[in-house]
Amino acid sequence: MKPVQTARYPEEARGALSFGKRFRPHEAVILALLFFCAAVSILTTLGIIVVLGAESSALFKEVSLWEFVSGTSWQPTIGEFGILPLVNATLMTSLAAMLVALPLGLGVAIYLAEYASERVRETLKPILEVLAGVPTVVHGYFALTVVTPALRGLFGQESIEVYNTLSAGLVMGILILPLISSMCEDALSAVPRSLREAAYAMGATKLETSVTIIVPAAFSGIAAAFILGLSRAVGETMIVALAAGAGPNLTLNPLKAAETMTGHIVRISGGDISYDSMDYRSLFAIALVLFLATLALNMVSRSIVKKYREVYE
């Protein structure tokens, strides 16, 4: 039977093989497109910097930078743009959040990484992921309808306001808890097994191994988790918008209402606001502070993580 030749390669038709470089125009176009898509991220960063920078500098023509960073009163209606009350409230809610999330998150991580059996761990981790996936506005709802009334029941209705930074901070701690526990657990699990064995072989109990050997060995990873958690807390918006209060207030009392940077941006931009007003520009100046703060925290966190990866890999 004669083989049936149904198709021939172009080279065969030409009768000679060629190994010269061939230009493939459509692949070049695809390559350019792919690069452009990757470059969108640079455009985004550039956009953020330009937008925030331009609008803020317009504000700083009217308000001196010194006045902005050191002023103790934020009242745009009378031209007072001192960011301290907003920063103070942000720090207070973040601090409360970290006080909840750090010990609990580390506790959860130690339990999952060192104590829990495979099965328990496989059951608990998805639950924590669900907790991490709950939209923040739902956390805000929880803060306002459950935690605040509970706190008021605890401390007395008079001593604690309906809106307060404590309640917002506590719930924010719950929000950040899964992030911290999962990052800490990664850090603990990255500590080589041989260190655990070495500790046990010297007659250490499980607690002594975990707390005095494994946790210090994973310290940089844990620190990175804490810093990233702090950055998340500083940038978190909906919980504070709903529960912390609607009005800048320079106070150190967590039982009083105070507005955070994010809370202020959301409240003002949610109302009717005219473009090119001082109000409008001041929001961008706040956002700039927020952006720089979180960027710095994230970069520190990332560089720490990178360092500890290098130690063990």
Identify residues 5-24 at the interface with other proteins (CB under 8 A): 24
Q: Report the nearest approach of other proteins to the CB of residue 235 (Å).
A: 3
Q: State which residue, 92 or 218, has the beta carbon closest to other proteins.
A: 218
Q: State which residue, 164 or 181, has the beta carbon closest to other proteins.
A: 181
Is residue 114 within 8 Å of 206, Cβ to Cβ? Answer: yes
Q: Report the nearest approach of other proteins to the CB of residue 198 (Å).
A: 5
Pick one of 71, 178, 245, 248: the residue that binds other proteins (CB under 8 A).
Answer: 178
**Is position 200 an interface residue for other proteins (rule: CB under 8 A)?**
yes
Q: State which residue, 1 or 133, has the beta carbon closest to other proteins.
A: 133
**Is position 194 an interface residue for other proteins (rule: CB under 8 A)?**
yes
**Is position 52 an interface residue for other proteins (rule: CB under 8 A)?**
yes
Pick one of 70, 72, 73, 212: the residue that binds other proteins (CB under 8 A).
Answer: 212
**Is position 145 an interface residue for other proteins (rule: CB under 8 A)?**
yes
**Is position 128 an interface residue for other proteins (rule: CB under 8 A)?**
yes
Backbone angles phi, psi at 75, to 5 degrees: -140, 85
Q: Report the nearest approach of other proteins to the CB of residue 1 (Å).
A: 27
Those residues whose C-beta lies under 8 Å from the C-beta of residue 65, and which sit 6 or more positions away, are: none
* Contact pattern from residue 231 through residue 250 relative to other proteins, giving x for each residue in contact according to CB under 8 A and a dash for the rest: xx-xxxxx--xx--------
Q: How far is CA 276 from CA 80, 117, 208, 248, 261, in A?
A: 17, 59, 61, 22, 20
> Distance (Å, rounded) from C-alpha 112 to C-alpha 122?
9
Question: Over the range 68-94, which residues count as b (16 or more CB within 10 Å of their CB) and which as e?
Answer: beebeebebeeeebbbbbbbbbbbbbb
Identify residues 251-270 at the interface with other proteins (CB under 8 A): 262, 265-266, 269-270
Sign of the four-CA dihedral 202, 206, 207, 209: positive
Q: Report the nearest approach of other proteins to the CB of residue 91 (Å).
A: 15
Q: State which residue, 134 or 252, has the beta carbon closest to other proteins.
A: 134
Q: Report the nearest approach of other proteins to the CB of residue 62 (Å).
A: 19
**Is position 83 an interface residue for other proteins (rule: CB under 8 A)?**
no
Those residues whose C-beta lies under 8 Å from the C-beta of residue 195, and which sit 6 or more positions away, are: 213, 214, 217
DSSP letters, 199-256, are HHHTT--HHHIIIIIIHHHTHHHHHHHHHHHHHHHHH--HHHHHHT-SS------TTS
